[in-house]
Copies of this chain bind each other. A is one copy, B any other.
Amino acid sequence: MSSPKIQKLVLLLSKLPGLGPRQATRLAYHILDQNRDFAAELAKNIVKLREIKRCSRCFQAHEERPEICSICSSASRDQNKLMVVEKDMDLETIEKTGVYNGTYFVLGGLMSPLREDSQRRIRLKELVGRVSSGNAISEIVLATSSTAEGDMTSRYIEKILEPHMAAKKIKLTRLGRGLSTGVELEYSDLETFKNAYLNRK
């Protein structure tokens, strides 16, 4: 019904996470209704993403230097601590808390029981390489979400890193489980209460 150009854009926008066809249509028409500078600016900045590199050590998106990101090259960060996260968004959320002062490793996804290619899709080989290489790591924190996929991924990483841990005396930890802020006990699930009880202190 609508113009083929709108239809094509709607199709592309619908591939983005959280955008159904209706919301995609709304966005397409909204971009159309702005003055042309907006569309040009938006397109230009999407193209510019190609200039973003991934750090060769932690694989986070960055554009500061050719190879190593500012966290991996910072003298004020604890280079002996390595936190394994799923994606850039997680790293960004964690940095905002200001609680963690070590380095990161961005997996680029989680393993999934539904996808056979899970192990190739995420940077497991690179993680093993990083850990087994010469760098002095004292602790690895597995900071995946407490979902089925997050747990599956952490368990798998524990298994493949195991041969390297003992030899190098690396401590492997996972984020603590328990009551999240704001949880009412009455609504907590078995697993959460169990963890909260076992991790009481």
Contacts and interface: CB of A to CB of B under 8 A. Distances in A.
Interface of A: 1-6, 8-9, 12-13, 15-19, 23, 25-33, 36, 38-52, 61-64, 85-90, 92-97, 99-100, 108, 141, 143-147, 150, 173-186, 188-201
Nearest to A83: B197
Contact of A195 (B46, B178, B182): B178
Specify the main secondary structure of chain A where it touches its partner.
helix
22 contacts: A2-B61, A5-B51, A9-B48, A9-B49, A18-B23, A32-B52, A39-B50, A43-B47, A90-B186, A99-B198, A141-B197, A146-B181, A150-B185, A173-B200, A175-B178, A175-B196, A175-B199, A176-B196, A176-B197, A178-B195, A180-B188, A181-B195
Contacts of A92: 1-2, 25
B185 A179 contact: no
B194 A176 contact: no
A119 B181 CA distance: 24
B52 A182 contact: no
Nearest to A36: B50
A193 B61 contact: no
Contact of A193 (B25, B50, B94, B186): B94
Ranked nearest first, the 9 interchain pairs of A and B with the lowest CB-CB distance are: A176-B199, A176-B178, A178-B178, A175-B196, A43-B43, A180-B180, A146-B179, A173-B200, A43-B46
B63 A46 contact: no
Given A9-B45, A194-B99, A179 B181 contact: no
A99 B95 CA distance: 35
Contacts of A62: 3
Contacts of A150: 184-185
Given A90-B185, A188-B180, A32 B49 contact: yes
